[in-house]
Amino acid sequence: MGLELCVEDLFRTRFGGPPYKHQRKAAEALLEGRSVVVRAPCGSGKTEAAIFPYLLGKGSALPRRLIYSLPTRSLVENVAGRIDKDLNELKTKIEEIYVSRQHGANSKDPFFKGDIVITTIDQTVGAYCCTPLSLPEYLGNIPAGAAVSSLLCFDEVHTYHHDLGLKTMLVLISRSMKLGLPFLVMSATLPNSFIDWFRDKKVEIVEGSDNDVPYRKDRFVTLEWKEKKLEPQDILELVDERKRTMVVCNTVTRAQQLYRSLKGNLRPLFLLHSRFLSRDRKKIEEKMLDAFKEESKRGACLISTQVCEVGLDISCDVLLTELAPPDALIQRMGRCARRGGVGRVYVYDVEHHAPYEKEIMEECRKYLLTRLDGKKMNWNRELDFVDALLDEKFKSIVNDKKGQMRILSELGKAAFQGDKARVERTVREVFSANVTLHEDPDNILDKIWHMPWLNVDVRVLQRERDKYGIKVWEVGYKKNIGDEVENRLFSPSRLYPYRNYVLHPRYVRYDENEGLIFGEAGQSFEPVKAEERDPRERPKYDFEPWIEHVDMCLESFRLLRDQELPLHLFSELMGMDESESEGILALSVALHDLGKLNKDWQKAIGIRKEDIEPLAHFPRSFQIGRRPPHAAVSGYSLQRLFAHLIKAPSMRRHAIILAISHHHHSRIEEVCRYDLGWRHLVQDVIEKINDDFGLSANPEDIIWHSPPASIKPCFPNIENVKAYTVYSITSRIIRLCDQEAAKKMG
């Protein structure tokens, strides 16, 4: 009862009333540590059903961090803004919560440090696989420790690629189940077969209904099927100066054509699609949302594409949409009379099925004509629509064990190789490429990554290039171990996804109101100055003795453990009590730079005798010799020590060694010849940790010298979920402590 009152309190503070029935049931289940699937109507507060119980259960019934995965970047921004508003209203009720946004166009939390990380599904998968899409390879295992140990929430899952994204999500939540971690899945348009798969796994199923949401009870929306192509005249005939109208097209080109045909006849008129720069799209959305306010006494018209289907929190009186699959149509219809009242939906036939599959479009056309034309749309009718056309397809998806194993294998390869393209290919069929505009990219080559970039379907790009003879340069770059970048330009014969292209603006124009337009002359973009310091920037060091670095890292460990360390989970995986498990991590943090006590390493910086205090860091300007690699030496030399301390299965013990070895690069395996000195310093460190955490680590177990060797296996097998989780958590703790220690020194 106490928890229930707390949930009620949050909803009353934020919204002036109690939670809806599905919000209450989801909160109760989550606060009991159970996983939940929520299926509820569009606009029925599913976001709060996830966020509010997390606020109450954070660090107790629920993990300390929530990773909230969404299908698109724009939806990340919209949901994050909504959560910001919620937290601002609740600030007197809850502790301070850090909400971060993380996606390709807004990469301010690449290490997943936020309490609530709002991100795209591909960013979550990349982080989970030690192959984050917004970080260089050598930093890959830092966000992994967050991804494997957090409360994973997957929202708007009906929009995930059915054969890729959905199966990848199922793989990740199956791993959460094996670890005993709760998860949350949410959507308005999931067929029964998908729900039943979770029910069989003893997951709490929470269903919403029209009767539970007041404005849904008062909503009266009728659907009319139009067996003709949508034309500008259709829009003009249905637009009312006092009504808010939405028009949804299946392609950007169609949306742009309709906008141009109407912009002299309708005001205000807005256009939204995927080929806008984020700054311009934000301006358009702000103006459009203001015009679509319920209290506005003027009408307004928005022409959009699929980008409106999720996250666009507006309500229209009249919706005109091209034919689309049932889940897409329901999302579009969810914008009509969204706050209740009377609405009209007109669905128009299309000449071409693209970008959707021909079979589902034909089935949808037939269903609309025979079952929905002239009908009032409600939640039950929408669910019947989805079940009739998608139930068998989703049943095959959730029961495709071979397909899920194939996805897991691909994730393993991506993790082992640090292959970002492979990560993307487990989430969706990626056809988009990054493009920017400039007539002479050689002159801005050193600033090329500061240019404004857009995403364009590479098939469209190839077609328009061939049609207009657009001059295209591909930007190539090569990274070394220090992440230095060498840019180069060349003329590609074919265009491919993932690549970065510069288009000459002779036949390409960008307009802040219409987006990217092919076939018209435009102007070059200019580089944009970065607003903030890149969080991935390497720290600047001063002279720091090795023992001081150990002390600083341990101090950082004490400060970070409450916000970063999933100690209960880690202890269960290691089969140790929490004090011993914490001691294992503290020992890993303290000795991760043990390899710097290699006599050859210290000689390279001018320290040749053991009566001189060894260094861990020094200024970059300091003239030194070539230092041998040290990270793998640290891990290799500690193998026997950890083997005697840890009784867990060998792969979990080995995961600790790999985490120490990978504290500078996540795929190092070769160990150089070494001879460690300064034993008295190491003995003092081990003795202190033994006293603090009740360990019995023995310095004599350290392998103090060795010829060249290698650490095998050199990367944890992602299919071994427990060992991989140990590796990811340990890697994150070591590297964050190392970073924090460097900040304090700087």
Domains and CATH numbers, the chain: 2-212 (3.40.50.300), 218-380 (3.40.50.300), 432-518 (no CATH), 544-745 (1.10.3210)
Task: Give the residue ranges of DSSP H helices in 16-90.
Answer: 21-31, 46-57, 73-89
Q: What average pLDDT does range 668-674 have in this prediction?
A: 94
Q: Does residue 621 register a pLDDT over 80?
A: no
Q: What average pLDDT does range 339-360 have in this prediction?
A: 92
Q: Model-level pTM greater than 0.85?
A: yes
The beta-strand segments (E) located in 556-687 are 615-617, 670-671, 674-675
Q: What is the pLDDT of residue 138?
A: 87
What single-letter DSSP state applies at residue 32? T
pLDDT band at 56; cut points 50, 70, 90: very high
Q: Does residue 535 register a pLDDT over 70?
A: no
> For the chain, how many residues are written?
746
Q: What is the pLDDT of residue 540?
A: 60
264 CB contacts (<8 Å, ≥6 apart)? none
- Exposed, middle or buried: residue 359 (CB in 10 Å: 0-12, 13-18, 19+)? exposed
Whether residue 38 contacts residue 49, with contact meaning beta carbons closer than 8 Å, is answered with: yes
- Exposed, middle or buried: residue 5 (CB in 10 Å: 0-12, 13-18, 19+)? exposed
What single-letter DSSP state applies at residue 707? S
Q: Does residue 375 register a pLDDT over 50?
A: yes
498 CB contacts (<8 Å, ≥6 apart)? 420, 421, 424, 430, 433
**66-75, 145-154, 428-437: which has the minimum mean pLDDT?**
428-437
360-364: list long-range contacts, CB under 8 Å, 24+ apart.
Answer: 360/325, 360/389, 361/323, 361/324, 361/325, 363/389, 364/323, 364/324, 364/325, 364/326, 364/329, 364/389
Q: What is the pLDDT of residue 726?
A: 98
Residue carrying structure tokens 């959707």: 356
Mean pLDDT of the chain: 91
For the beta carbon of residue 283, count every other beta carbon within 10 angstroms: 14
Q: Which of 608, 636, 604 is nearest to 622 (CA)?
A: 604
Q: What average pLDDT does range 258-276 have in this prediction?
A: 92
Q: Does residue 481 register a pLDDT over 50?
A: no
Handedness of CA 501, 504, 505, 509 (dihedral sign): negative
| 684's tokens | 């003092």
pLDDT band at 75; cut points 50, 70, 90: confident
Q: What average pLDDT does range 128-155 have in this prediction?
A: 93
Higher-pLDDT residue of 708, 475: 708
pLDDT band at 1; cut points 50, 70, 90: very low
pLDDT band at 247; cut points 50, 70, 90: very high
Q: What is the pLDDT of residue 59?
A: 92
CA dist., res. 744 & res. 746, Å (int): 5
CA dist., res. 53 & res. 64, Å (int): 12
Whether residue 135 contacts residue 110, with contact meaning beta carbons closer than 8 Å, is answered with: yes
For the beta carbon of residue 221, count every other beta carbon within 10 angstroms: 21
Q: What is the pLDDT of residue 484?
A: 44
**39-53, 181-195, 422-436, 467-481: which has the minimum mean pLDDT?**
467-481
Q: What is the pLDDT of residue 737?
A: 96
| 437's tokens | 């505009």
6-15: list long-range contacts, CB under 8 Å, 24+ apart.
Answer: 6/56, 7/31, 7/52, 7/53, 7/56, 9/93, 10/52, 10/55, 10/56, 10/90, 10/93, 10/94, 11/48, 11/52, 13/89, 13/90, 13/92, 13/93, 14/48, 14/86, 14/89, 14/90
pLDDT band at 92; cut points 50, 70, 90: confident
CA dist., res. 451 & res. 501, Å (int): 11
Q: What average pLDDT does range 591-614 have in this prediction?
A: 95
Angle between helices 73-89 and 278-291 (to 10 degrees): 60
Q: What is the pLDDT of residue 6?
A: 85
| 221's tokens | 């929306």
Our separate counts of H helices and E strands in the chain read 27, 28
Q: Does residue 339 register a pLDDT over 60?
A: yes
Q: Does residue 3 register a pLDDT over 60?
A: no
CA dist., res. 644 & res. 641, Å (int): 5
What single-letter DSSP state applies at residue 60? T
Percent of the chain with pLDDT over 90: 71
Q: Does residue 532 register a pLDDT over 60?
A: no
Please state whether the peptide bond connecting residue 232 to the residue before it is cis, i.e. omega within 30 degrees of 0. Answer: no
Q: Does residue 238 register a pLDDT over 50?
A: yes
Q: What average pLDDT does range 207-214 have in this prediction?
A: 85
Q: Does residue 278 register a pLDDT over 70?
A: yes
Q: Does residue 480 register a pLDDT over 80?
A: no
| 621's tokens | 């300007």
CA dist., res. 265 & res. 262, Å (int): 5
